[in-house]
């Protein structure tokens, strides 16, 4: 059977890493998330719940796959000793292309500070490990671990395979600012600049691979071009190098940015946000690595060799490993890759947070990956949709995220924040319901919270004599609007404009009027309404303001006179069974002509109105006219006219054309009217 090894050129070996959706799942959009909210959207930094929030330490770890399953008792009990295939974990029963993922996010000492009611500052230190694997086919996977004998002595073809991993640390400086604020709403923007240090990266990418081995692991055929690249500070990995050695020999750095926008609608209690809309772009930037001298494109020449030769030997460093596979004829060099540019995992976050009732919230989040999955060097986040209901108070939050990722995983988790401590998992609940587990995650953190002190807005009481005297009776400009309600307390104006003057009398007060000396339109900030299409009908009255028309049709193109006469003639010839909403057969031909007109000209719409005489009660007449108008509507619907091109209404006996005191007048009033229109439905 084929064994697993570190960065083996034979692509049957895998250290298959894929980033999960996000870190600290379910917690980051809590109104009291502080530093954790800032790393998702720096716009939350301004005017947040804290005067100061200090993150002492927080960590989020995720792992999962669709290749293997682990006994739930082993995972939840953390019993990993003697763990091997067939004892604690097993191959999953699927034939899909395999993925495995892990994501480690460590948030070090970090803090947010509210400088003013409108300005906030943040500092972060952070370390992440992120990676992806694509296109590990099931036949190749079946030869790993406990090999399936059905796949020996056959040509196994695997499409292009990629394995990529990046580890980096960052120090960030964030600034948030309130751009607009009143008693009920505010708009905030934020930006984070980051200095990023690359700790190490590795990439393995192949073209199509063909492999044929026998039960003794002898290679009959191995065909593939493989590009192996990794940062030079990893050369002595597995050869005795310590973590400090690797970090001290790092050779990459760069800069990154996060941008965020937040809109908040406040409840009467300023400590409760009724609605929050957030949009952010995180991890804009890249790292430039100096590659190891072993970073090359290789061609496999392993026919006749054994797969065990691709395994790393005890104490063998990466540098020695690549030297050996060349010297033993397992692979030959085709070209060199001296440097690599690795993008940060850029993502767009779209978030909505809504206060359902009192302290109960529902959060919806979409994380959109912005990197190409085919990039052979830059790991990316996975597009993920998350819904998180939560109970949130000042010192306590309980949350339960449900997430679905683009790789098809559905997880349900739970978490809690109690004062300075938060702990949770995005998958704990769903894993408790399974006997075998394919994915797991957890997060925990400790913070120091120093809250803002906010007072609820107080409405003045009418019983307050001082308020009555100073605000309910004072009217210093004498316009009849008391100063407490007057928007222009020093300039007399009409009551309907809340005390503000309007010199040109167009209904737009001077302070809002862009043309204060010319009577204009409310819709155009007090300036005369333009005529955008040049048809002599201004945009206020034009129902087709961007299409040239005629005044007789409200500024819309004229309708053919023969269409109008045909529809009017048809309306006069619609007959119903007495006192019922059943159309007489004699009327069908006329309605067919109306349907033909609507089918001929797709810009036309039809308004159908039903009317009765005054015989009977108003309630009966109203219902009858409604049913008759709908009967005509249904007939035309049956003839293929779309519902959104028609509407109908009944008016009973409310709109007579003649007095109802003669049989002739009553006959005139019993009618159906049909009006052709070619302007938008929402226009009157």
Average pLDDT of the segment spanning 407-424: 94
Give the domain-ending residue among 451, 472, 505. Answer: 451
Query: Helix (H, G, I), strand (E, B), or coil: what is residue 623?
Result: helix
Element (H, E) at 175: strand 162-181
182 and 312 share one domain: yes
92 and 191 share one domain: yes
pLDDT given at position 455: 53
| pLDDT greater than 90 at residue 201 | yes
> In this structure, what token pair is assigned to residue 645?
């091109």
Beta strands in 291-432 (DSSP E): 296-300, 331-336, 339-343, 347-357, 360-369, 384-392, 396-399, 402-405, 410-412, 414-418, 421-425
Distances (CA, A) of 91 to 77, 132, 140: 21, 20, 13
Query: Helix (H, G, I), strand (E, B), or coil: what is residue 133?
Result: strand
Give the domain-ending residue among 400, 430, 451. Answer: 451
474 and 599 share one domain: no
274 and 386 share one domain: yes
Is residue 526 within 8 A of residue 508, CB to CB? The reply is yes
pLDDT tens sequence across 146-196: 889 999 999 999 988 889 999 999 999 999 999 999 878 999 999 999 999
Is residue 275 within 8 A of residue 461, CB to CB? The reply is no
Domain annotation covers residue 8 = no
> In this structure, what token pair is assigned to residue 228?
């192996």
What is the spatial distance between Cα 86 and Cα 147, in angstroms, rounded to a whole number?
12
Distances (CA, A) of 569 to 126, 262, 563, 575, 591: 78, 58, 10, 12, 10
What is the spatial distance between Cα 223 and Cα 214, in angstroms, rounded to a whole number?
16
Is residue 2 within 8 A of residue 217, CB to CB? The reply is yes
pLDDT given at position 472: 61
Domain annotation covers residue 669 = yes
Domain annotation covers residue 89 = yes
**Cβ contacts of 428-431, under 8 Å, gap ≥ 24:** 429/400, 431/72, 431/75, 431/76
Total tally of structural domains belonging to the chain? 3
Here the CATH number for the domain that contains residue 96 is 2.40.160
Distance, CA of 515 to chain centre: 41
Closest to 129 (Cα-Cα) out of 167, 102, 100: 167
What is the spatial distance between Cα 439 and Cα 430, in angstroms, rounded to a whole number?
10
Indicate the pairing of strand 84-85 with strand 88-91.
parallel
Domain annotation covers residue 115 = yes
Q: Place 483 in a pLDDT band, splitting at 50, 70 and 90.
A: confident
Sign of CA dihedral 54, 417, 181, 349: positive
273 and 396 share one domain: yes
The dihedral over CA atoms of 264, 267, 272, 275, expressed in degrees to the nearest 10, equals -40
Average pLDDT of the segment spanning 410-425: 96
Domain annotation covers residue 122 = yes
Sign of CA dihedral 369, 372, 373, 376: negative
Closest to 163 (Cα-Cα) out of 57, 5, 33, 391: 5
pLDDT tens sequence across 328-374: 999 999 998 899 999 999 999 999 999 999 999 999 999 999 998 77
Domain annotation covers residue 551 = no
pLDDT given at position 10: 37
Average pLDDT of the segment spanning 388-402: 96
Closest to 441 (Cα-Cα) out of 23, 8, 132: 23
What is the spatial distance between Cα 6 and Cα 16, in angstroms, rounded to a whole number?
10
| pLDDT greater than 60 at residue 458 | no
pLDDT tens sequence across 612-668: 999 999 999 999 999 999 999 999 999 999 999 999 999 999 999 999 999 889 989
174 and 228 share one domain: yes
Average pLDDT of the segment spanning 463-469: 48
pLDDT given at position 489: 87
Q: Which residue has the higher pLDDT, 563 or 23?
A: 563
pLDDT given at position 15: 34
436 and 480 share one domain: no
Average pLDDT of the segment spanning 210-221: 94
Phi-psi region of 341 (alpha: psi -120 to 50; beta: other; left: phi over 0): beta
Give the domain-ending residue among 429, 451, 473. Answer: 451
> Per mean pLDDT, which range of 224-238, 437-451, 670-684 is the poorest?
670-684
Q: DSSP assignment, residue 471?
A: I
Here the CATH number for the domain that contains residue 640 is 3.30.1330.60
445 and 500 share one domain: no
> Per mean pLDDT, which range of 162-166, 432-436, 451-455, 571-575 is the poorest?
451-455
What is the spatial distance between Cα 24 and Cα 59, in angstroms, rounded to a whole number?
8
Q: Name beta bridge partners: 212.
A: 221
441 and 467 share one domain: no
pLDDT given at position 400: 97
Q: For residue 276, with 0-12 CB atoms within 10 Å meaning exposed, 13-18 middle and 19 or more buried, which class applies?
A: buried
What is the spatial distance between Cα 68 and Cα 145, in angstroms, rounded to a whole number?
11
What is the spatial distance between Cα 107 and Cα 115, in angstroms, rounded to a whole number?
23
Residue with tokens 């593939």: 224
pLDDT tens sequence across 35-74: 999 999 999 999 999 999 999 999 999 888 888 999 998 8
pLDDT given at position 471: 53
498 and 626 share one domain: no
pLDDT given at position 26: 92
What is the spatial distance between Cα 15 and Cα 34, in angstroms, rounded to a whole number?
35
Domain annotation covers residue 50 = yes
Q: Place 454 in a pLDDT band, splitting at 50, 70 and 90.
A: low
Put simply, whether the predicted model's pTM sits higher than 0.75 gets the answer: no
**Average pLDDT taken over every residue of the chain:** 89
What DSSP string describes 194-261? Answer: EEEEEEEEEEEEES-EEEEE-TT-BEEEEE-EEEEEEBGGGTTTTTT--HHHHHHT--EEEEEEEEEE
Domain annotation covers residue 226 = yes
| pLDDT greater than 70 at residue 13 | no
CB atoms within 10 A of CB 147: 15
Average pLDDT of the segment spanning 528-542: 86
Distances (CA, A) of 181 to 44, 274, 288, 310, 521: 14, 15, 42, 64, 28
pLDDT tens sequence across 14-35: 333 333 456 899 999 999 999 9
429 and 469 share one domain: no
Q: In percent, how much of the chain has pLDDT > 70?
A: 93
Tell me the backbone φ, ψ of residue 625, rounded to 5 degrees.
-65, -35
415 and 396 share one domain: yes
Q: Name beta bridge partners: 418.
A: 396, 421
Q: Place 682 in a pLDDT band, splitting at 50, 70 and 90.
A: low
The range of the structural domain enclosing residue 243 comes to 35-451
Strand order in the sheet with 156-158: 156-158, 209-213, 219-223
What is the spatial distance between Cα 56 and Cα 209, in angstroms, rounded to a whole number?
48
Closest to 581 (Cα-Cα) out of 620, 638, 639: 620
Q: Place 266 in a pLDDT band, splitting at 50, 70 and 90.
A: confident
Q: In percent, how much of the chain has pLDDT > 90?
A: 63
pLDDT given at position 341: 94
């Amino acid at each position: 059977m084929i064994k697993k090894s570190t960065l083996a050129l034979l692509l049957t070996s895998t250290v298959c890493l894929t980033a999960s959706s996000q870190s600290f799942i379910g917690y980051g959009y809590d109104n009291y998330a502080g530093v954790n909210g800032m790393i998702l959207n720096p716009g939350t930094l301004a005017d947040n719940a804290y005067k100061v929030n200090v993150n002492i330490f927080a960590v989020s770890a995720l792992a999962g796959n669709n290749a293997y399953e682990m006994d739930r008792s082993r995972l939840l009990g953390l019993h990993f000793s003697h763990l091997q295939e067939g004892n604690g974990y097993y191959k999953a029963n699927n034939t899909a292309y395999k993925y495995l993922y892990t994501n480690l996010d460590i948030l070090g000492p970090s803090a947010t500070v509210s400088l003013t009611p409108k300005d906030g500052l943040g500092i972060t230190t952070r370390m992440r490990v992120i990676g992806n694997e694509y296109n590990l086919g099931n036949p190749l996977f079946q030869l790993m671990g406990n090999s399936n004998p059905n796949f020996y002595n056959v040509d196994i073809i695997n499409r292009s395979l990629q394995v990529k991993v990046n580890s980096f640390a960052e120090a960030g400086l964030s600034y948030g600012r309130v751009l607009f604020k009143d008693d009920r709403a505010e708009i905030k923007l934020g930006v984070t600049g980051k200095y990023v240090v690359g700790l190490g990266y590795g990439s393995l990418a192949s073209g199509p691979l063909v492999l044929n081995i026998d039960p003794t692991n002898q290679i009959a055929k191995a065909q593939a071009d493989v590009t192996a690249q990794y940062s030079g500070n990893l050369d002595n990995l597995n050869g005795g190098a310590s973590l400090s050695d690797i970090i001290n020999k790092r050779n990459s750095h760069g800069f990154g940015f996060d941008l965020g926008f937040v809109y908040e609608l406040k409840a009467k209690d300023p400590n409760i946000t009724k609605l929050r809309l957030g949009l952010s772009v995180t991890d804009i930037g890249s790292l430039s690595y100096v590659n190891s001298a072993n970073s090359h494109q290789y061609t496999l020449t392993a026919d006749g060799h054994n797969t065990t030769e691709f395994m790393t030997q005890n104490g063998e460093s990466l540098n020695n490993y690549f030297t050996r596979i060349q010297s033993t004829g397992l692979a030959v060099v085709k070209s060199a890759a001296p440097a690599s540019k690795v993008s940060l995992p850029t993502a767009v976050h779209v978030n909505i947070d809504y206060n359902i009732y009192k302290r109960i919230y529902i959060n919806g989040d979409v994380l959109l990956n912005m990197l190409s999955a085919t990039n052979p060097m830059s790991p990316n986040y996975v597009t993920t949709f998350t819904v998180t209901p939560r109970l949130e108070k000042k010192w306590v939050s309980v949350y339960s995220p449900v997430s679905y990722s683009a790789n098809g995983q559905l997880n349900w988790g739970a978490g809690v924040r109690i004062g300075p401590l938060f702990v949770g998992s995005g998958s704990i609940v769903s894993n408790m319901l399974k006997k075998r587990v394919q994915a797991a995650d957890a997060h925990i953190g400790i913070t120091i919270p120093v809250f803002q002190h906010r007072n609820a807005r107080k409405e003045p009481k009418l019983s307050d004599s001082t308020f009555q005297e100073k605000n309910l009776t004072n009217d210093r400009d004498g316009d009849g609007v008391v100063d407490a309600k007057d928007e222009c307390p020093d300039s007399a104006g009409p009551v309907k404009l809340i005390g503000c003057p309007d010199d040109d009398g167009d209904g737009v007060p001077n302070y809002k009027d862009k043309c204060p000396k010319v009577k204009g339109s409310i819709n155009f900030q007090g300036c005369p309404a333009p005529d955008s299409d040049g048809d002599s009908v201004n945009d206020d009255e034009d129902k087709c303001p961007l299409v040239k028309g005629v005044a007789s049709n409200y500024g819309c193109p004229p309708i053919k006179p023969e269409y109008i006469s045909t529809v009017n003639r048809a309306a006069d010839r619609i007959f119903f069974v007495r006192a019922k909403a059943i159309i007489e057969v004699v009327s069908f031909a006329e309605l067919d002509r109306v349907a033909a007109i609507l089918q001929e000209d797709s810009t036309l719409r039809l308004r159908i109105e039903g009317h009765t005489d005054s015989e009977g009660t108003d309630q009966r007449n109203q219902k009858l006219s409604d049913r008759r108008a709908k009967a005509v509507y249904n007939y035309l619907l049956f003839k293929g006219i779309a519902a959104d091109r028609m509407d109908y209404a009944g008016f009973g006996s409310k709109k007579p054309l003649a007095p109802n005191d003669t049989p002739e007048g009553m006959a005139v009033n019993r009618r159906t009217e049909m009006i052709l229109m070619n302007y938008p439905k929402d226009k009157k």
